[in-house]
Chains A and B, each alone.
Chain A
Amino acid sequence: MSATAQQFLRTAAAKSADLRHRAVIQTNMASYNVAVTRGKARFADWQNARRRAAQIKWETINHLDRYLEQFERNVIANGGRVHWAETSAEARNYILSLAHRHGVRKVVKSKSMTTEEIHLNDALEAAGIHAVETDLGEFICQLRHEPPYHIVTPVMHLTKADIARDFHEKLGAPLTDNAEELTRIARQKLRQEFLSADMGITGANFAVAETGMIAITENEGNARLTFSLPPIHVAIVGIEKLIPRVADLALLWPLLSTSGTGQPITAYSSLIGGPRRDNEPDGPAEFHVILLDNGRTRLLADAEQRDALHCIRCGACLNACPVYQNIGGHTYATTYPGPIGAVITPHLRNAAEWSHLPYASSLCGACTDVCPVRIDIHHHLLHNRRNAVQKRLDHPLQRLIFRSWLWAMQSPVRYRLAGKLGALACRLGVKPPRAFPAPANQSFKDWWKNNEPGT
């Protein structure tokens, strides 16, 4: 078992028994569920919307080479620059050298899981560049020195009182559990940062091939300030974020916000198409897009699991997952936790270290039912497991058990004998695993012999 897997087991066991955590998550999920149920009802046909969205993403991912090049051409035509980063390090180095060239001292960031994926903040801090998270949730994470708990709602595990305590202890703010007051404290702090930042870094929810624009979805207006106030805007975009047409946003924007938070559309939806032009009053002088691979093309090469790249990072599968609800987002120790994270992490990182995640699921299928782009998530987990066995990442003892088990199951005589041995062991005091009861005195097979029609 990898060290990561051992750590996962330990943390998961502790978190599963943490009743306070469970209560907070259940309360937050309950309000999420109410909002999403209401949100889905606004669609004339939610199932049809999912099917159409899946088609759009299927079309994109299966012709990704074409759409990426089209996107690149259009970004350049709009006056922006495109950098292709094969690894995290390449993406980080591009940003660092860009920052170095422009003498950047302070960076403001809007919420971006891609920047989490490449561990950008650590790299910036190491280079002496101050990075400020401006999304309220991410701002709180940064104060607490912890990674986001969830890909959409980074501090889902905290209550207002928890946040008030952090603001009090770390910002010297007066204790209050008034949400508006807490927001005001963060805003005051962040406004100064926006005005003095030398670079703004964002992710992108979608990248539109036909126009070379990126689409950003947010609720706080902080992303708008991030990409319009500082003189340089860098967007880090996973290559799977491509969509063919602007018109696709008419479906994908409401689909994302409905699945993410239950909102019909988020408060701010922006399309950014390059740096400030001569006739424009504001915007950055430079616009850079980093197209990040970082293992995605490995997943793309796997025809069976390729559709996991359809993911629009709405977080619905995390919210629906009873495992996630009990062990929480941090336990996964991945950038992308929950069911979709368990599918893609063994591909994006390495299977030997991360193959425990696909097993950490009861395969209940709640994730698949809620996925707005119809990724067959829980069946993919089965594929991940099969891949792990094929790569011989399984425990030799487990392999031996299943080989022996197969040998017993191939013959009714051996099967029967195995049953009798089990019953005998129980009578001799061997405890069956977990909730398993001792075998019955008479099996169905034995009963049938005496109760067959005609006997």
Chain B
Amino acid sequence: MRVGLFIPCFIDQLYPRVGIAMVTVLRRLNVAVEYPAAQTCCGQPAFNTGYWDEARTLAKRYAEIFAGYDAVVSPSGSCTAMVRNFYPELGVTPPPTFEFSEFLVRQLGVTDVGARFPAKVTYHDSCHTLRELRLKDEPRQLLRHVKGLELLEMDKAETCCGFGGTFSVKFPMISYAMDEVKCQSIAGTGAAYVVSADSSCLMQINGYLQKQKLPVKIISLAEVLAST
């Protein structure tokens, strides 16, 4: 099986550690991965803002870059949803692309990656991972197998954090209010970490946590799974 890595632009630039963690886990599981260096962005910011022609150009580019791969793995449910659910709307057939937890659990059949992370964590269901990809249990299965990890469910696990890409720039006050509601739910669990399959949500959540000096840290699912 030829497996390609898709590292979304903001992970590449802002959170490279998330991509590195995913590679670490996959190598530990003896999955050989390739990283096509020409990749940039899936096109989601343009698509979500209404610029479908611009998004289509990048969708075609993505499809060309990843043609020939049996699977493409990405540490982002949001970008995976863009490729799988929305490329067809743009008339582009997507290469088989999987979110990281989905790839591990559904494609590789792995739920225990041999990780160790002794801490109380709560899991934030990102909207795209949950409602576009329908992945709710997969990330949790992986977390439950991490040694020392205690998973605490928050009451608003499925509520949006308020990021929404350009939404958070166009409507910062609404976005902030949504973030506040989310973070109060997170803090209510007493967890030391909030984990998610989407770093964009974590970035949003971290904005509020830091501003209010709440004692919760953000960490991506890939980083938890890479910890030993």
Contact = CB atoms under 8 A, between A and B. Distances in A.
A30 to B, nearest CB: 10
B127 A363 contact: yes
A386 B172 contact: no
A-side interface size class: 35 or more
Interface stretch (A53-61, A81-89, A437-445): A437-445
8 contacts: A17-B177, A22-B181, A366-B127, A382-B47, A382-B86, A385-B49, A412-B40, A444-B7
Contacts, number: 172
Interface in B160-202: 160, 162-164, 166-178, 181
A412 to B, nearest CB: 5
B13 A440 contact: yes
A368 B131 contact: yes
Given A323-B174, A359-B167, A435-B207, A448 B46 contact: no
Given A16-B177, A443-B16, A410 B58 contact: yes
B16 A447 contact: yes
A56 B81 CA distance: 30
A423 B14 CA distance: 10
A361 interface: yes
Nearest to B75: A444
B20 A447 contact: yes
Contacts of B160: 322, 362, 364, 366
B46 to A, nearest CB: 5
B19 interface: yes
B48 A364 contact: no
Q: Which 10 A-B pairs have the closest CB atoms?
A: A435-B207, A362-B164, A385-B50, A364-B160, A389-B50, A365-B131, A16-B177, A13-B173, A364-B127, A444-B16
Given A326-B177, A359-B49, A440-B15, 18 more contacts: A16-B173, A26-B181, A326-B181, A362-B127, A362-B162, A362-B178, A363-B127, A363-B167, A365-B127, A365-B132, A382-B48, A382-B50, A386-B52, A394-B50, A412-B37, A412-B39, A436-B203, A444-B7
A361 B12 contact: no
Interface string B9-34: 10111111101100100000000100
A26 to B, nearest CB: 8
A406 B208 CA distance: 30
